[in-house]
Chain A
Amino acid sequence: MPDRSLAIHVRHVNKSFDQGAYVVHALKDINFDAYINELLMIVGPSGCGKTTLLSVVAGTLSFESGEIDVFNNSLHQLSVDAITTFRRENVGFIFQQFHLIPTLNCIENVAVPLLLQNIKMKDALERAGEMIKTFGLGGREREKPKNLSGGQQQRIAIARALVHNPRLIICDEPTSSLDAETGCHVMELLSKIAKTENRCVIVVTHDNRIFNYADRVTKMNDGKIVENNVQLT
């Protein structure tokens, strides 16, 4: 079993995609750990398997062999329904393209993870409103996402990822749609989030401008981890 301070414990994970004529080995015997109150960055060139690794750790993608423990939940032993419940309760997602629902306003978008947990609409909106205020967007709750700037949309997406107090925050290229300055603000925010409430933040990126926000960097290439535990701070 992983150490108590461990947030994520990955051992000998393999994942391949059958493309018909050939098989792509996206993850090859992956081993790594991530710790509580840590911002771990997974970096590497495009197509090296970063997003696939993020997906299997988040429980959105199955894997063929190996073991993954996330906050003492053994993903390799859970059923599909149990993994869905695990994601709903323990994981906050920040996507590259934000994926805010355009027909909902900001407060409704932020409330979605709470509604998925069957919390009443009124209570969910109340909590979502408070979360939006903490990100400095008070007064914009009723705006549709299209009326916000890219940085504001990403802050709403982060608010959505945090509103249900998940322990694991998964970020897929969180700054790739943002300008440098906004990207730095977002990373500062994520860095602070990682240090609060026994959380762990994993960021997948190939944006080298933000590497200095990581507590550790894990480098990937060709489906393998080529450099682990690169200590930056």
Chain B
Amino acid sequence: MYEIALKMLFGDRSKYLMLVSALAFATLLTTQQSSIFLGLMRWTTATLTNTQIPIWVMDPEVSQVNEVKALRDTDVNRVRSVEGVEWAVPFYFSLQQARLPNGDFKTVQFIGLDTTTLVGAPAIMLEGSLENLRQAQGVIIDRIGLLKLNKEREINLKIGDTFEVNDHQLKIVGVCDAAPSFFGYPQIFTTYDRALETVPKVRQNLSFVLVQPKKGFTDEQVVKNITNETKLKALTENQFFWSTIKWFFANTSIPVSFGTTVLLGFIVGVAVSGQTFYTFILENLSNLGALKAMGASNRLLCRMLLLQAFCAGFIGYGIGMGVAGGFGFLTSRAAQFPYYMPYQIPLFVLILILFICSLSAFIGIRKISKLDAAEVFRA
């Protein structure tokens, strides 16, 4: 009888297509919007991803990685003196205006790495070497940033070319692969000392202190020691990641707008598929009544309805997920679009779609359960 149930579903082309379309649309909308949201949230923590440092020390008022309240330069040494600290290095982070050779101005994210160790540099170099940063005026630029700087320019910037920041000439000595930043600005990596030479002079310059704990000390122990001894704020990478995410949740409308779209996808899925499936049941009610009269039990009819609902659900889910995956694949090739789809998203959306199918089937099951087999004799 399950084959018959599927033929009943596939045979009613208009309802079947409407049902599958609604479920595919709900899948696409919830998957795509969730993935873009996660992509954006990943971008907000790009600095953490690119540096891969276990402990970050900052001003107590800082609550996310893109926000800087400068420390005194002597704070690096204070942190180095804390028990459990293997090493601690300075880290500079600010937004600057770059003047390109054609006279255009572009905002860039300016990052200063410890001059001696270059700790916190991106792991993957695409062109040039990290050591080139030791050359005079040397900076490394991220691949996507370079693409952005070269957009709408007749002659593209490349290794060896120069540009200016704050009237200081800088020379591109390498191109790296780095996670794009939330603000979408090109990321310029240089040494800490050169960064301070380049940017406008202020009394305090140190953005963060990056810390590696000694063997035998956990990150949490060292964080606690630093906080107690220096009165500065110290967070593990994971704590800083979630602190940043929480800040964006609390201070921007991004979660609300994406959440609303995901909710709308869910509501549209429930409404359209529920309504379509209910109409499908109503139109087949006399046939289902005939089946009941011929000896089909309520249990069998319920299983048939569930099979129809879940079959439409899986097909709609497959189509929607395929389109969402294709969208993600194409946009991630360009890498200038925030799209991140970990396995939890397809899993979450599958549960959502199965819930919609169950709800739709439940409405039909209620109708079937109450259907009197004798109804079939009433013309």
Q: Is B61 an interface residue (CB 8 A)?
A: no
Contact B293 A93 (CB under 8 A): yes
Contact A173 B379 (CB under 8 A): yes
Q: How far is the CB of A107 from chain B (nearest CB, A)?
A: 12
Q: Is A136 an interface residue (CB 8 A)?
A: no
Q: Is A212 an interface residue (CB 8 A)?
A: no
Q: Which residues of B contact A103 (CB under 8 A)?
A: 7-8, 10-12
Q: Is B155 an interface residue (CB 8 A)?
A: no
Contact B4 A60 (CB under 8 A): no
Query: Which of the segments B29-37, B93-101, B369-377 contacts the partner chain?
Result: B369-377
Q: Within A44-58, which residues are at the interface with B (CB < 8 Å)?
A: 51-52, 54-55, 58
A95 partner, pick from B10, B11, B290, B372, beta carbons under 8 A: B290
A91 to B377 Cα, complex, angstroms: 14
Q: Which residues of B contact A87 (CB under 8 A)?
A: 293-295, 373
Q: Within A21-57, which residues are at the interface with B (CB < 8 Å)?
A: 51-52, 54-55
Q: Is A130 an interface residue (CB 8 A)?
A: no
- Complex: chain A residue closest to B289, CB-CB: A99
A58 to B292 Cα, complex, angstroms: 12
Contact A84 B1 (CB under 8 A): no
A93 to B375 Cα, complex, angstroms: 13
Contact A104 B296 (CB under 8 A): no
Contact A93 B372 (CB under 8 A): no
Contact A61 B373 (CB under 8 A): yes
Q: Which residues of A contact B297 (CB under 8 A)?
A: 81, 84
Q: Which residues of B contact A55 (CB under 8 A)?
A: 373-374, 377
Q: How far is the CB of A97 from chain B (nearest CB, A)?
A: 6
- Complex: chain B residue closest to A105, CB-CB: B7
Contact B293 A58 (CB under 8 A): yes
Q: Which residues of A contact B295 (CB under 8 A)?
A: 84-85, 87-89, 91, 113, 116-117
- Complex: chain A residue closest to B296, CB-CB: A116
Q: Is B137 an interface residue (CB 8 A)?
A: no
- Complex: chain B residue closest to A99, CB-CB: B290
Given the interface contacts A60-B376, A99-B376, does A113 sit within 8 Å of B294 by beta carbon? yes
A176 to B377 Cα, complex, angstroms: 13
Contact B11 A102 (CB under 8 A): yes
Q: Within B1-44, which residues are at the interface with A (CB < 8 Å)?
A: 1, 3-4, 7-8, 10-12
Q: Within A92-147, which residues are at the interface with B (CB < 8 Å)?
A: 93, 95-97, 99, 101-104, 108, 112-113, 115-117, 121
Q: Which residues of A contact B374 (CB under 8 A)?
A: 51-52, 55, 60-61
Contact A51 B11 (CB under 8 A): no
Contact B372 A99 (CB under 8 A): no
Contact A99 B296 (CB under 8 A): no
Q: Is B267 an interface residue (CB 8 A)?
A: no
Q: Is A69 an interface residue (CB 8 A)?
A: no
Contact B286 A104 (CB under 8 A): no
Q: Is B378 an interface residue (CB 8 A)?
A: yes
Given the interface contacts A93-B290, A108-B4, A116-B1, does A54 sit within 8 Å of B377 by beta carbon? yes
Contact A95 B7 (CB under 8 A): no
Given the interface contacts A97-B379, A104-B4, does A116 sit within 8 Å of B11 by beta carbon? no
Contact A51 B377 (CB under 8 A): yes
> Which 10 residue pairs of A and B lie closest in terms of their CB atoms, listed nearest first?
A103-B11, A88-B295, A99-B290, A60-B373, A55-B374, A61-B374, A60-B374, A87-B295, A51-B377, A101-B287
Contacts from B to A (Cβ < 8 Å): 1, 3-4, 7-8, 10-12, 284, 286-287, 289-297, 300, 372-374, 376-379
Contacts from A to B (Cβ < 8 Å): 51-52, 54-55, 58, 60-61, 81, 84-85, 87-89, 91, 93, 95-97, 99, 101-104, 108, 112-113, 115-117, 121, 172-173, 176
User: Given A93-B294, A103-B11, A112-B294, 9 more contacts at CB 8 Å?
Assistant: A51-B378, A61-B374, A84-B297, A99-B287, A99-B290, A101-B4, A101-B287, A113-B295, A117-B295
